[in-house]
Amino acid sequence: MNVHDSEYMATLLEEAGYREASTLKKADVILLNTCAVRQKAEEKVYSLLGRLKFLKKKRPDIIIGVGGCVAQKEGERILKRMPHVDLVFGTHQFYHVAEFIEKVRQNRARICCVDFSYQLEPPRRIIPLPRESKVRAYVTIMQGCNNFCTYCIVPYVRGREVSRRSEDIIEEIKRLLDMGIKEVILLGQNVNSYGQDRSDEISFAELLRRINKLPGLKRLRFITSHPKDISKELIRAFGELETLCEYIHLPVQSGSDRILKMMNRKYTRSDYLRKIESLRKVRPDIAISTDLIVGFPGETEADFKETLSILKEVEYDTIFAFKYSDRPPAKAVTFKDKVREEVKKERLERVLALQAPITERKNKALEGKVVEVLLDTYSKRGNQLSGRTRCHRVVNVAAENGLLGQLVKVKIKEALAHSLRGEVVS
């Protein structure tokens, strides 16, 4: 979501006459779009802002702005703590970024605007242009969250759920397809609760059906889903819609019913497992990834073993595991029995050690197989083309630059820890 919000701001600023600077030192305006979901991310923002102080000292005319979730959470505190910051704008204010910069420039006044506007359509309709890829684009379909999981700051910094009108979403996707986009990733903090906040809208599954019919679309994905909102209609869509890729990110967070209840996740371990089973019934080759938290307050060794056992039971393709950290004002901050840091660290290591061979085995199973890859970027080392399979695995191939942006068939030669290596066969 943040990457896409940054694309939005970059497009707005280009329309207002700004150009991307080649280096930080050459920039006249420096904007940080920030994430507050974990404490570490927030610390990084303050650390980078601290370093920017020296740049501002040398060039007092530059404008430094902070947007996104840390800006929303901290507001005026950033201006107090960081006298060299000129602008703080919240998650609902980024449409106005160019106006804010202009005001700072003209009045040399410092601005802080973190009001929630609950308006998802920009004042002027623009298509945020993808930066990282010419063939893959993000489209926000809703934002905010009503769930208040007890560890999570998102409802406080993104506000309540607001769904966009389906006609606006489809119009935006049509325009992206006209520009040559082949893969669309629908975005929302709680993407599959799309439409539940308004009586005049279609369901998420129906939205997928309508998008699936658009000429030119090759691949459709969405992120991030809540297990409680995985409907039967959505599960059926995985078996029926040809553009809907066989991949789902479905955060489980814990394998223990006691902890899931304390987290206010609104599903049990068996509800979750039933949904995984149904998804695999309609799409046996579906790749599944998850998020999980270790060391939630009160998590005992027995609770933690339930998390280990769900990993063994589901056999995820990949996982994103994190140590719990307090995120005020989320409710779990007040929970007793905080787990000691060294225990959290040890549990995280055990989770990762359990998952590594599962991921490796699943990747190895692809060796020798021919898969469809959308080549849309260069590999990290820059000497190969890189893309993703329909099941979201990264594949690097030695190929002509002319294949950039193409869907190709690739034979997988080697499975590495975090990517696959292959050769184009057609």
Long-range Cβ contacts of 124-130 (<8 Å, 24+ apart): 126/8, 126/11, 126/12, 126/15, 127/11, 127/172, 127/175, 127/176, 127/179, 128/4, 128/7, 128/8, 128/10, 128/11, 129/7, 129/10, 129/11, 130/7, 130/181
Q: Where are the beta strands (DSSP E) in 168-305?
A: 183-187, 219-223, 247-249, 287-294
Report the nearest approach of ligand SF4 to the CB of residue 147 (Å): 4
Among 149, 184, 187, 321, binds ligand SF4 (CB under 6 A): 149
* Residue among 221 and 327 whose Cβ is closer to ligand SF4: 327
| The residue to which tokens 């505190």 are assigned | 77
Tell me the HSE value of 312 on the side-chain side, using a 13 A CA sphere.
Answer: 9
Strand partners, 424: 410
User: Which residues from 166-225 bind ligand SF4, rule CB under 6 A?
Assistant: 189-190
Region from 95-103, 116-124, 141-149, 371-379 binding ligand SF4, contact rule CB under 6 A = 141-149
CB 235 within 8 A of CB 278: yes
Q: How near is the Cβ of 291 to ligand SF4 at its closest, in Å? A: 8
Site for ligand SF4 contains 141 (CB under 6 A): no
Closest to ligand SF4 by CB, 149 or 173 = 149
Residue 250 in the binding site for ligand SF4 (CB under 6 A): no
Q: Which range touches ligand SF4 (CB under 6 A), out of 147-155, 205-213, 314-322, 340-348?
A: 147-155
Which residue lies nearer to ligand SF4 by CB, 189 or 290? 189
Of 97, 113, 141, 145, which one interacts with ligand SF4 (CB under 6 A)? 145
Residue 18 or 335 having the CB closest to ligand SF4: 335
Residue from the set 148, 329, 361, 418 that interacts with ligand SF4 by CB under 6 A? 148
| Residue showing tokens 């898969």 | 371
Query: Does 348 interact with ligand SF4 (rule: CB under 6 A)?
Result: no
CB of 88 to ligand SF4, least distance (A): 22
Of 97 and 149, nearer to ligand SF4 (C-beta) is: 149
Closest by Cα among 406, 411, 415 to 135: 406
**154 forms part of the interface with ligand SF4 (CB under 6 A):** yes
Chain positions contacting ligand SF4, by CB under 6 A: 145, 147-149, 152, 154-155, 189-190, 226
